[in-house]
Every structure is written in C-alpha cells, then in structure tokens.
Amino acid sequence: MTYKTKLGEVDVQENQVLIFENGIPGFNKLRKFALVTRESDDPIQWLVSLEDELIALPVVNPWLVCIDYSLNLSKNDIEELQIESQTDLKILSILTIPKENPGETTINLLAPIVINLKNNKAKQVIQEESPYMVRHLVKDEIKRSKSILENSKTGSE
C-alpha cells in the first residue's frame, strides 16, 4: 500500500507496518509506523508515521555510535512486545539533528525504539535507573567508541 509520509509517497507492505500500541511519547495517537531506508542517508533510517505525514524520526543503530551501549528491558516491556528471543529484536535510537548545525546532532540513548521483528510490535522503551540521557553528542560518542576499539586492539597484541 502507498502511504503519504514526510519522505513523500512510500510503498509499505502490510507485513512491514510497525504497531506502537501505545503510541510514542509526544505522538500518543499515532500507532502505525514504518522503517524506511534511503541509500543516501545510510546508516540513518527513518521511522515514518503512516498516519501523519508530518511526522518522521531519524533513527540509527545505537551501537554504531556508542560501541558499549547497553539496554535493560523490563519484564513489562518483554511482555508487552511478546518477546521470545533476543534475536528477534531490532533496536534503534532517535537522533535530534539541529537545523543549522548537523555536527551537533545528539542521540537519545535513554529511550530507544525496540521492535519485535517476529510480530512487528514496537515501543519506545523508557529505561529506569539508566546511566544514559536523552541527549548524547554523536561526535563525542563516536570518538569515545573509536578509542575503546583502539585500546582493545593494543590490549590484545
């Protein structure tokens, strides 16, 4: 089916429609989203609303930015998304991109989007007791991740 989205008209198969049963904080009435990939934006993908063509969120695999990222899913989250296996999960973090200053982009590591690929149920998980914040500077996290990688290389030699 073709949907009008913030990225223009997008073809989405019914089995690719993601269902956020409780919406996303700030967009509580929106239930149906899709993950859209545009080659030119790689590694960033788009979580686009299929019900409001003004709403699209840029998302990225958090481990690409923060190599030692960790995530705690509560029993509540696991039951809500009916998660049976960790391998069914896709985890994405939302980016906040300042209009005039993309170099100052931040990533929300506190509240990632968790998708169960088995049933397409998804939610933005709000982690309690988390060391992470809503805004981490992407460039700083990448720098930190690179130094972790380099240290681990020298350590193994």
CA angle centred on 9, ends 3 and 15, rounded to 5°:
45
Rounded Cα distance, 17 and 120, in Å? 7
Taking the complex as a whole, the smallest distance from the CB of residue 37 to other proteins amounts, in Å, to 13
Q: Give SS3 for 125.
A: coil
With CB under 8 A as the contact rule, the residue among 11, 16, 22, 37 that binds other proteins is 22
* Residue 53 makes contact with other proteins by CB under 8 A: no
Closest CB to other proteins among 61 and 120?
Answer: 61
Closest CB to other proteins among 94 and 157?
Answer: 94
* Residue 67 makes contact with other proteins by CB under 8 A: no
φ and ψ at residue 86, rounded to 5 degrees: -60, -25
Closest CB to other proteins among 97 and 117?
Answer: 97
Rounded Cα distance, 130 and 50, in Å? 31
The two structure tokens encoding residue 39: 């080659």
For CA atoms 135, 43, 125, 7, give the dihedral sign.
positive
With CB under 8 A as the contact rule, the residue among 139, 147, 148, 151 that binds other proteins is 139
Closest CB to other proteins among 2 and 15?
Answer: 2
Within 8 A by CB and 6+ apart from 5, the residues are 34, 36, 48, 49, 50, 53, 56
* Residue 44 makes contact with other proteins by CB under 8 A: yes
The residues of the shown chain that bind other proteins, judged by CB under 8 A, are 6-7, 22, 24-27, 40-41, 43-44, 46, 54-58, 60, 64-65, 75-76, 79-80, 94-97, 99, 102-103, 105, 108, 110-111, 124, 126, 128, 134-135, 138-139, 142
